[in-house]
């Protein structure tokens, strides 16, 4: 039984005082904590590590951007600020897209956009190119 027949509670004792027994099996009868589930956990960990590692360590590349483009500190800092702002601004839209289309297509599209944004930012010849490629495109894809 997947829950109380009346209230669908998942606690040990539901509102109608019916006893529940729990098992380690999911809906399809297979165990939840084996094999493929741990691959998903490790993949999510890797994605979050890479996204946060790239977004929140822009200060490391800040000096490189200052030397390469010869712009002011404020103009150079805008690269990382646009990236972080894009992540948080597009987050609700990503949530709506995930609810509508599912996780796989949204994550796949984000990965493709990240590849395009980071790949084209390597060829930036101007700080304004980084605003668009790293700040906006990569920021949107990370959300």
> What pLDDT, in 10s, does the model give residues 7-42?
555 555 555 555 555 555 555 555 666 778 889 899
125 lies in some domain: yes
**What is the residue range of 78's domain?**
58-142
Q: What is the pLDDT of residue 27?
A: 59
Query: What six digits make up the tokens of 46?
Result: 């890797």
Q: What is the pLDDT of residue 141?
A: 95
32 lies in some domain: no
Cα 33 to Cα 28: distance, rounded to the nearest angstrom: 13
Cα 55 to Cα 41: distance, rounded to the nearest angstrom: 21
129 lies in some domain: yes
Interaxial angle between packed helices 73-101 and 36-55, expressed in degrees from 0 to 180 and rounded to the nearest 10: 150
- Domain count along the chain: 1
If DSSP states are collapsed to H, E and C, what string results for 63-126? HHHHHHHCCCHHHHHHHHHHHHHHHHHHHHHHHHHHHHHCHHHHHHHHHHHHHHHHHHHCCCCC
90 lies in some domain: yes
Q: What is the pLDDT of residue 67?
A: 93
User: pTM score > 0.75 for this model?
Assistant: no
Q: What is the pLDDT of residue 38?
A: 87
98 lies in some domain: yes
Which residues of the chain have a pLDDT value below 70?
1-33
51 lies in some domain: no
Q: Which of 136, 91, 94, 133 is nearest to 116 (CA)?
A: 133
Bridge partners, residue 25, by sequence: 31
Q: What is the pLDDT of residue 105?
A: 94
């Amino acid at each position: 039984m997947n829950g109380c027949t009346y209230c669908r509670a998942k606690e040990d004792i539901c509102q109608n005082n019916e006893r529940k027994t729990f098992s380690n099996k999911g809906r399809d009868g297979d165990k939840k904590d084996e094999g493929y589930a741990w691959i998903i956990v490790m993949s999510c960990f890797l994605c979050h590590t890479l996204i946060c590692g790239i977004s929140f360590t822009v200060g490391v590349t800040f000096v490189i951007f200052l030397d390469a483009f010869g712009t002011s500190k404020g103009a150079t800092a805008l690269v990382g600020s646009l990236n972080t702002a894009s992540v948080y601004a597009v987050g609700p839209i990503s949530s709506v897209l995930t609810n509508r289309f599912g996780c796989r297509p949204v994550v796949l599209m984000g990965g493709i956009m990240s590849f395009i944004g980071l790949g084209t930012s390597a060829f930036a010849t101007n700080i304004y190119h980084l605003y668009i490629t790293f700040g906006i495109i990569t920021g949107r894809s990370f959300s």
